[in-house]
Amino acid sequence: MRLLLIVFFSFFFFQNTKSALAQDSLHISLRQADSLFLKNNLLLLAERFRIDASQAQVLQASLYDNPNVTLEVSSFNSETRRVLDVGRQGEKIISVQQLLYTAGKRNKRIALASEAARLTELELLDLLRGLRFDLRSRFYSIYFQQLTLNRFNQQIATLETTVSAYEKQYERNNISLRELLRLKALLFQLNNDRTEIVFQLADDQRALRTLLSVDQPIQPRVRDATLPRYHLPTQPDDTLQQMALRNRPDLKASESLIRQAELNYNLQKSLAVPDLRVGGTYDQAGSYIQNYVGLSVSADIPVFNRNQGAIRAARSQINYQSQLQRQKAIQVGNEVVTSLQKVREVERRVQSIERSFTDQFDELNRGVIISFQKGNLTLIEFVDLIEAYNDSVRQLNRLKADRISAYEELNYLVGEELFR
């Protein structure tokens, strides 16, 4: 009776703990995860501040220089013996100067700052593209790993019961130690495989929780009806390559760098043209007449420094960025081709598996356990079938996760949602 009470309360505690863990988990669909990601991800929020900062630089580039004012007064008037004599008999000079940019320098600085702000926006889009790919891959990886883990838990629970029964039979000298140890070795291997899955699941959970900025375990909700939307694209390969060249924000960013180099080259050429400083001066008593008012215009004479080095460097920067952009375009095209090869291969593998394969294997697994318990299977046959079943379950779920990851990678590389 005492033993029954202990078992009952242990079972009750386990069920309550399991229920509490389930309640603490965050059960979300992929669409909900996307929304939560856009709302909470701190990297995206931080990148928006970079955009604000870059737009502020555009404002700064559009501002004119402040005028310069100079006031000069007499420190001591020896005739009147007065200090700081600024009255009618004293002396004061007031000068005002304003710097005027020539050769369109201000507009060129605005254009360069605007292009830099556009680059920041493209970098945000590229960050969003990469993080979303990581989010979806982790989401489905967790889903299929949890399916595998559930199967392993069931198998381990059944095998533990079988091992306990064999231990009793061994104590009665009905079976050999070799048979008992073989079963324990199988259980040990299953637990090791389960630990590997748990470790990988923990890593994916950590990454997904970080992406969503939550601290609850994620329980993906996936409807089987949503998975068929991933299918081989109907567009030809060259069309997908052109879409990638047109849509990829990282490629647009490399084009923006070329544009910035060209704008900087134009700016550096304009800096070779001297700016003008215009102003006016009022001199009370220090000029050839009383209360002198004059106008001034000054400029540097471009004899030695005509900004030759900066112009040459800016021209080389254009060539440098152009070569990088060509390399990036080739890389994008090759990435799309490689991704299509992966998609077709994983789809071929999935299609080669009969739809009834999983159900048949589950039915076989149940039959194997029952047949072994009845003594209709030898220990070697039982161990072989159990190992084959567990390996097939693990590989099948990994293949399903790899399939979705391959399609999401194609989305990522093309830069567009191909599968809705």
Q: What is the pLDDT of residue 355?
A: 61
Question: How do residues 208-266 score in pLDDT, each as one tens digit?
Answer: 999 999 999 999 999 876 778 888 888 999 999 999 999 999 999 999 999 999 999 99
Least confident of 46-50, 146-150, 226-230, 402-406: 226-230
- The pTM of the full predicted model, rounded to 2 decimals, is 0.83
Question: How do residues 317-376 score in pLDDT, each as one tens digit?
Answer: 999 999 999 999 999 999 999 999 999 999 998 888 756 566 666 666 667 767 776 677
Give the pLDDT mean for 310-315.
Answer: 96
Report whether pLDDT(13) > 70: no
Mean residue pLDDT of the chain comes to 87
- Residue 313, C-beta contacts closer than 8 angstroms, at least 6 positions apart: 268
Q: What is the pLDDT of residue 32?
A: 93
Task: Using pLDDT thresholds of 50, 70 and 90, give the confidence band for residue 2.
Answer: very low
Give the pLDDT mean for 304-318.
Answer: 96
Question: How do residues 102-122 score in pLDDT, each as one tens digit?
Answer: 999 999 999 999 999 999 999
Report whether pLDDT(16) > 80: no
Question: How do residues 37-67 score in pLDDT, each as one tens digit?
Answer: 999 999 999 999 999 999 999 999 999 999 9
Read off the tokens for 188: 């040990």
Report whether pLDDT(22) > 50: no
Nearest to 143 by CA among 214, 206, 221: 221
Percent of the chain with pLDDT over 90: 62
Q: What is the pLDDT of residue 360?
A: 65
